[in-house]
Amino acid sequence: MRIALIQFDIAWNNPEKNIETCTKIVNRAVEGGARLVILPEMFTTGCSNPTGEAALHAFKTGDSFLKEASQEHGVFICGSIPVLESASDKPSNSIRLYSPEGLAGEYAKIHLFSMDGEDREYLSGTSTLTRKIEDFSASFFICYDLRFPQIFSKVARETDIYVIPANWPANREYHWRSLLVARAIENQAFVVAVNRVGSGGGKRYPGSSMIISPMGEVLRRGSDKEELLLCDLDVEDVRKVRAALPFLEDRREELY
């Protein structure tokens, strides 16, 4: 399956501008043969934690784009947006996964970033999401979730590929790269993670989106510029690694 990661400079609180940018890059991804297209965390606004009418507009704009792009191009596509039913609701930072047939799943971010007050403005998720995408069983997490390996381990046995949209800042880029590789090695699965570039809300973002093999090899790594990353992945690589090195079978999960 060919994966596309779209790292771009998210215009702060400007859904229309971001959809315009995404439309152009998604078209290129589809022309390049992508079957799963992944956008960054909060791709309609940046991590500004919008609420009220601003969050509702960002949700409707982003959700309509994902749905229409999936149907138009016949691909799976996902990214995180604020999700809520009305302006009076508290949003969740949620991945919406669309297939050409419609909404295929939703994952609300479980670990909220308290250092930026996300936990005060947003609802945290209470369940994981794993879905079949062509030959792959894919599990979805968002940015700060990456610091909590237990949640990745919880779904490892049913997961071939972890999908992680993010807005990870440049001053902790080393953590980003190291933790992504660790999640791939310890769970013997592909990790595909897309990060934004540029700046917003007083922070700089390094890109450095990555596609990592079940052995921890970095197959693709983005620059710090707007970029489309394409990579072909084979689910049999997961099977081969787990058969040759059956580490998952030695876990004492009853103790942790």
Domain membership of residue 253 (yes or no) is no
Write out residues in the chain with pLDDT < 50, as ranges.
none
Strand partners, 33: none
What is the residue range of 170's domain?
2-248
Q: What pLDDT shows up at residue 255?
A: 87
Q: What pLDDT shows up at residue 139?
A: 98
Taking alpha carbons only, the member of 158, 169, 178 closest to residue 47 is 169
Q: Count the residues in the chain.
A: 256
Domain membership of residue 171 (yes or no) is yes
Strand partners, 38: 5, 78
Q: What pLDDT shows up at residue 254?
A: 87
Residue owning tokens 């960002």: 58
**C-alpha to C-alpha distance for 196 and 23, rounded to whole angstroms:** 16
Residue environment code for 207-238, b if the CB has 16+ CB neighbours within 10 A, otherwise e: bbbbbbbbebeebeebebebbbbbbebeeebb
Find the CATH number of the domain harbouring 79: 3.60.110.10
Q: What pLDDT shows up at residue 126?
A: 97
Domain membership of residue 255 (yes or no) is no
Domain membership of residue 256 (yes or no) is no
Domain membership of residue 203 (yes or no) is yes
Domain membership of residue 178 (yes or no) is yes
Domain membership of residue 208 (yes or no) is yes
Domain membership of residue 112 (yes or no) is yes
Residue owning tokens 């590929």: 161
Read off the amino acid at residue 251: R
> What digits encode the pLDDT tens for the residues 134-149?
999 999 999 999 999 9
Q: How many separate domains does the chain show?
A: 1
Ordered alpha helix ranges (H), the chain: 15-31, 52-73, 118-121, 149-154, 173-187, 236-244
